[in-house]
A and B are shown apart, each in its own frame.
Chain A
Amino acid sequence: MPPVFVIARLTVQESSRRRLLLALLILTLLVVGFSAWGFNKITTVTRPDGTLLPPDQVSLITSQLLIVVVFMFSGVLALSAAVVAGPLISGEVESGLLLAILARPVRRSEVVIGKWLGLAMLVAVYAAGAGSLELAAVDWATGYLPPHPVQLLVYVAADGLILLSVGLLLSTRLSGITAGVIALVGWLIAWIAGVVGDIGTGLQNQALENVGVVSHLVLPSDGLWRGAIYAMEPDTVIAAVRALGTAGRANPFTATEPPPASFLVWVVVWFALVLSLSIWSFRRREI
């Protein structure tokens, strides 16, 4: 097996042996179970006249609540990715674990790509698995399924991969805690900058709007999150928000358009750039 896949396998194996996967599985089942119970309660809400809410209202409430739940899920995924990626390289350099490995015929680029691949696979599988479970639970509880579930999972997974990549890049130079914290703060700043951009759109202020655009380019996590929202918004909500004009767009939990294709191309380029930078940085690191 080429070294890059050996390193990837080792990364997955470590997460499994250290019981990270087990912990995530248990926590996910708890959260999904709890949220299914919560969503189910929406269907039992009664109006003042004692009748149950009509299905379209249940769907509307569920759709908006689901956006909040997925936002938290995406936040937890991003946090986990940053925390795990932060020490991915630096931890093993500091402990000496990489000394014996790098004395083998293994390129440093193979170590970086291998670790990214291993963790990316975990993030993607977890996002797909836990996300599908949550959507299935919501569907079971309320009968509501967002309009574009597959795109939703892809956007959420990509958001996690962004944080993983930033954490890994920083990990080539900084200690695990520092790398993880910077990645996480970067993610929060990008989200806030996205909100500022929304406000700029609402107020038709170009300068503020540019803050959002630049933040989406530097750290595309918020841009991807907007894609996830769009995938969850029912057509009726999108139509209503569009009717409000620019003011309707000044909300970090709404999206009236899917991310433009140019942005998605940029995300692919961004991943290539960050991984290349990680390799370049690690090659120059003295161990």
Chain B
Amino acid sequence: MAELAEQTTAAASPSAAAGTPAVKTIELTKKFGHTVALAGLSMTVPRGEVFGFLGPNGAGKTTAVKLLLGLLKPTSGEGWLLGRPVGDLQTRRRIGYLPELFRYQSWLSAAEVLELHCELAPLPRSSWRDEIASVLETVGLTDRAKDRVGTFSKGMQQRLGLGAALLGEPELVFLDEPTSALDPVGRHDVREIIRSLASRGTAVFLNSHLLSEVEQVCDRVAVVDHGRVIAEGTMDELLGGTAVRVRVAGLSPADKNRLAQFGRIDDEGDQLTFANLDPDRVPDLVASIVSMGGRVYEVAPRHQTLEDRFLQLLEDEEDKT
């Protein structure tokens, strides 16, 4: 029986594989019994791109990352990281990973955990000291380098995990919900770190359900729900539409239902947001509301946010099923 996603092929020469995408999958599928965790994921993440993998809890984001890292075995389909098949041991030298379930040896100090990862990576011993000092500085843990991880808060442990993922300047970094335990300052720091990774050409695969996080740092996004990618594209492609917020009174639920002809409505009482509406149709919308006896106080067209688009996509999916 083949070892679970653990292959021993010769190290791929980085230069030979430089033209290959950072991540490529074809119909990658994972089933747990009858539950489909990931249904035919096909995608390509170019080198140096910050790719957002966006979806609600349980959508299959972590499953996808674990499949790509060889921690899970795909039911079917194929995947490549940095030009080598998923599970190739040598490729893992060039990859960083912050798991969603981040946990590090509580009996070691922060510096010792990083030393362990330097050793397993493996990095040349002469570079450890500088590498460790550099990532501790990056994630803001220099002062706590000698403290036991067991004394760290969750946020600090997540920072440490991020530091471990950055060791050795990897070509591809997987960050699975990297800010789940961080405060607003920490989230800001992580965004800065992702931007600096991108600026030095590192591809970042960012798993997140935090729309603002993805919106602010990602070049491209795939939205995943129930194990399927339901939309993919650059932020501009995804957010091409206009959302229109209308402050209105005097509409019955039946009237609001009739307004569904203008697209998906986010109904918040006297405030209706039409997630994707052509600006040319705004006068028709206002006329319809008025004809129903509604009183319009404000009409505010704005660029669609990722949240608008995300909710629209999820609702469209629900309608389909």
Contacts and interface: CB of A to CB of B under 8 A. Distances in A.
A285 B66 CA distance: 13
Interface stretch (A13-21, A189-197, A201-209, A211-219): A13-21
Interface string A1-23: 10100100010011001100000
Interface in B60-110: 66, 69-73, 89-90, 92-93, 95, 97-99, 101-105, 107-108
A13 B107 contact: yes
A3 B161 CA distance: 20
Given A6-B116, A99-B71, A280-B1, A104 B104 contact: no
A63 to B, nearest CB: 42
Contact of B71 (A14, A109, A284, A286): A286
Contacts of A261: none
A20 to B, nearest CB: 11
B190 interface: no
Given A283-B3, A283-B4, A286-B4, A103 B71 contact: yes
Dominant secondary structure at the B interface: loop
Contacts of A106: 89, 120
A99 B1 contact: no
Contact of B120 (A101, A283, A286): A101
A102 interface: yes
A148 interface: no
A147 interface: no
B187 interface: no
Interface of B: 1, 3-4, 6, 66, 69-73, 89-90, 92-93, 95, 97-99, 101-105, 107-108, 116-117, 119-122, 161, 164, 174
17 contacts: A1-B119, A6-B116, A13-B107, A95-B103, A97-B105, A99-B99, A99-B102, A100-B98, A100-B117, A103-B99, A104-B92, A104-B121, A105-B93, A105-B122, A286-B4, A286-B73, A287-B71
Given A13-B108, A14-B105, A105-B89, 8 more contacts: A18-B107, A100-B117, A101-B120, A103-B71, A107-B3, A107-B89, A285-B4, A287-B71
